[in-house]
Amino acid sequence: MQYFDTHAHLGLIVDDPIEQLIVIQEARQASVARIISICNSLHDFTQVYENLKSAANVYHSVGVSPSEVQNPGKDWLQIIEQSVQLPRVVAIGEIGLDYYRKFGDKNSQIELFITQLDLASKLNLPVIIHNRDAGHDVLDILRDRLPPRGGVLHCYSEDAAYAKKALELNLYFSFAGNLTYRNARNLHETIDVLPLDRILIESESPFMVPADHRGKRNMPKYLPLTARFLAEMLEMDEEALVAQLWENSNNFFGLPQE
């Protein structure tokens, strides 16, 4: 079996480049064969990309998250356009809205989100979408501005009713380790309404560690625990599910299945 971690903040797990490579090696030993490295800021992207140039199984997204709305950096749009030309950069993200932390004001977050959605359309790339306490605005904006390559609602946190609305768009739904929590009823109910070919999984490391490792810093190597839990929920053979998730992930990011 080959697992695909569609969302890992490798730069936040450890700072040291050698330790980052060790994290990736441990993931490979756990059959996590591909990882998307997610940046929150452009500085984070540049440093992590340089650290992981030799890691051929790590792909990258580049973008400005809502947490950086007050300081995206000088010439940030130009930097993103230049960065997507680098090998193994496959998405714009994570981008979106976060009303929980109240980063800047809502209008500034919305402007930042729309600008990057339009850029993704221009560059023909998919988007990785952050949504926290902003579901209504996120969906309204995506109805008008979702790029042709589509997007993924990462670390999905809404309910099944929201998912049914989002299914009308070219969106995937990615679930992290919190899917394994007993009290995550909204996520469990959402799984029941989703087509299998629209589901992805992610570690969201170093956050959202699966229940078996609560209290620890999350790692991509724990991703199989989420897949196993999902297979049990769906009453599916785990190997068949993992093969489907692998296919879904590669389809979304435009990568070969091999």
What pLDDT shows up at residue 94?
96
What pLDDT shows up at residue 59?
98
What pLDDT shows up at residue 144?
97
What pLDDT shows up at residue 22?
93
What pLDDT shows up at residue 48?
93
Token pair recorded at residue 21: 């490579």
What pLDDT shows up at residue 41?
84
- Residue type at 144 in one-letter notation: D
Whether the CB-CB separation of 200 and 252 falls below 8 Å is answered with yes
Buried b / exposed e across 109-138, counting CB within 10 Å, b at 16+?
A: bbebbebbbebbbebebbbbbbbbebbebb
- Read off the pTM: 0.96
Whether the CB-CB separation of 202 and 174 falls below 8 Å is answered with yes
Cα 88 from chain centroid (whole Å): 15
CA dist 44 and 79 (Å) reads 13
Query: Splitting the chain (258 residues) into consecutive groups of 10 residues, what average pLDDT does each group show?
Result: 96 87 96 94 89 95 95 92 97 96 91 98 98 97 98 98 98 98 95 98 97 93 98 97 98 95
What pLDDT shows up at residue 121?
98
What pLDDT shows up at residue 185?
95
